[in-house]
Chains A and B, each alone.
Chain A
Amino acid sequence: MEIKFNKKMYSLKAVKSAIQAYRGLADFDFKQKGAYIKVELKNINKDVEEMIKDEFCNYVLFLMKL
């Protein structure tokens, strides 16, 4: 699973903090490519597989407000 965060809307700091918080639920990897921060999720916990993407995005957005 891959999520592309636009650098204009999302900071690297927020993405890193969210990865730190969610690392127990999946294996995360990220890289910056052009205008985007690409986050890759592997070995996702089956209990949260359906919602992890949306919840993760919400959490990154929440961190942007802080």
Chain B
Amino acid sequence: MKKIKTKINKNQVIFYLSVKIYSLEAIYGAAYVFIDRAYLFLDSCSEKKIAVFLKGKNKLSRKQLEALKGDFLNELLDYAFRIKLSRNSRKLREFIVGQALVSAYGDDEVVQENEIGYEDDPLGIAVSWEDKYGAKPKKAEKENK
């Protein structure tokens, strides 16, 4: 397992994240969660890497800073997964919302359908076999054939 390069100094932990692995959207999400716990700053050190500066709001020990970084990375992973899941289930979500809207909108039509009696038969379903395909040939006619 490759370790994330980390620097710790002046109550601050600095580490670098690959843009290939973590989207900027996920980094913003995780950063937003940590805004009340730490001071955050982002910078780009190259095309593919983002530097994250995490500074404790109170004086933190080296261990606490490491723990803060670990918590941030966990949150980042959580956000990255959530974004991926949201993208994958987008079509299904849209379908469900669409169905909910259609059923909410179509209430009047349902009532109208219920008002139609079975005798009205607007779809022409209530047709007897004979009416549709003619009378059944008699046994004698069948044997002659």
Which residue numbers of A lie inside 8 Å of B, CB to CB?
A: 4, 6, 8-10, 35, 54-55, 57-58, 61-62, 64-65
Contacts and interface: CB of A to CB of B under 8 A. Distances in A.
A61 B55 contact: no
The 10 nearest A-B residue pairs measured at CB: A54-B39, A9-B42, A65-B32, A8-B44, A57-B41, A6-B44, A6-B43, A58-B35, A65-B28, A61-B40
B43 A62 contact: no
A65 to B, nearest CB: 5
Interface string B38-78: 01111110000010000100000000000000000000000
Interface residues of B, number: 14
Nearest to A64: B28
B96 interface: no
Interface in B89-109: none
A9 B32 contact: no
Given A6-B44, A9-B24, A62 B32 contact: yes
Contacts of A10: 42
10 contacts: A4-B43, A6-B42, A8-B44, A9-B24, A9-B42, A57-B39, A57-B41, A58-B35, A61-B28, A62-B32
A54 B32 contact: no
Contacts of B43: 4, 6, 9
Contacts, number: 37
B39 A55 contact: yes
Given A6-B43, A9-B44, A61-B28, 9 more contacts: A4-B43, A9-B43, A54-B39, A55-B39, A58-B35, A61-B35, A61-B40, A65-B29, A65-B32
